[in-house]
Amino acid sequence: AADMLGVHVDTLREWDAEDKLVPVKTLGNHRRYRLEDIEAFCTDKPKKPKSALVRVATYARVSSHEQKTKGDLERQAGRILTYCAEKQYHVIKSYDEVGSGMSDNRAKLKQLFVLVSERKIDKVIVEHKDRLTRFNFRFLQDFFDAFDVEIEWVSETMTNKSYEQELVEDMLTLMSSFSNKIYGKRSAENRKKKKELEAKAKEIQSA
**Within a domain: 78:** yes
Does one domain contain both 88 and 25?
no
Q: Is residue 189 part of a domain?
A: no
Q: Say yes or no: 62 and 105 in one domain.
A: yes
SS3 at position 91: strand
**pLDDT for 158:** 44
Q: Where are the alpha helices (DSSP H) in 88-159?
A: 107-117, 137-146
Q: How confident is the model at residue 162 (pLDDT cuts 50, 70, 90)?
A: low
Average pLDDT over residues 91-108: 88
Residue 176 known to be catalytic: no
Whether residues 93 and 123 fall in one domain: yes
pLDDT at 11 over 60: yes
Domain count, the chain: 2
Query: Which of 29-43, 77-91, 177-191 shows the lowest per-residue confidence on average (mean pLDDT)?
Result: 177-191
What was the pLDDT predicted at 179? Answer: 65
Residues 84 and 140 in one domain: yes
Mode of pairing for the β-strands spanning 123-126 and 150-153:
parallel
Measure the CA–CA gap between 23 and 10, rounded to whole angstroms: 13
| Mean pLDDT for the stretch of residues 6-29 | 76
Domain-terminating residue out of 122, 137, 153: 153
Read off the pLDDT of residues 20-56 as tens digits, 9 standing for 90 and up. 777 777 767 777 777 777 766 666 545 445 456 899 9
The answer to the question of residue 203 being in a domain is no
Judge if 26 and 60 occupy the same domain.
Answer: no
Domain interval for residue 32: 2-43
CATH code for the domain of 85: 3.40.50.1390
Catalytic residue among 51, 63, 103, 187: 63
pLDDT level of residue 58 (50, 70, 90 thresholds): very high
* For residues 74-91, average pLDDT: 91
Same domain? 65 vs 122: yes
Are residues 87 and 33 part of one domain? no
> What are the start-end ranges of the H helices in the chain?
2-5, 9-17, 35-43, 65-69, 72-87, 107-117, 137-146, 161-206
For residue 59, what are the β-bridge partners? 95
Give per-residue pLDDT as tens, 22-32.
777 776 777 77
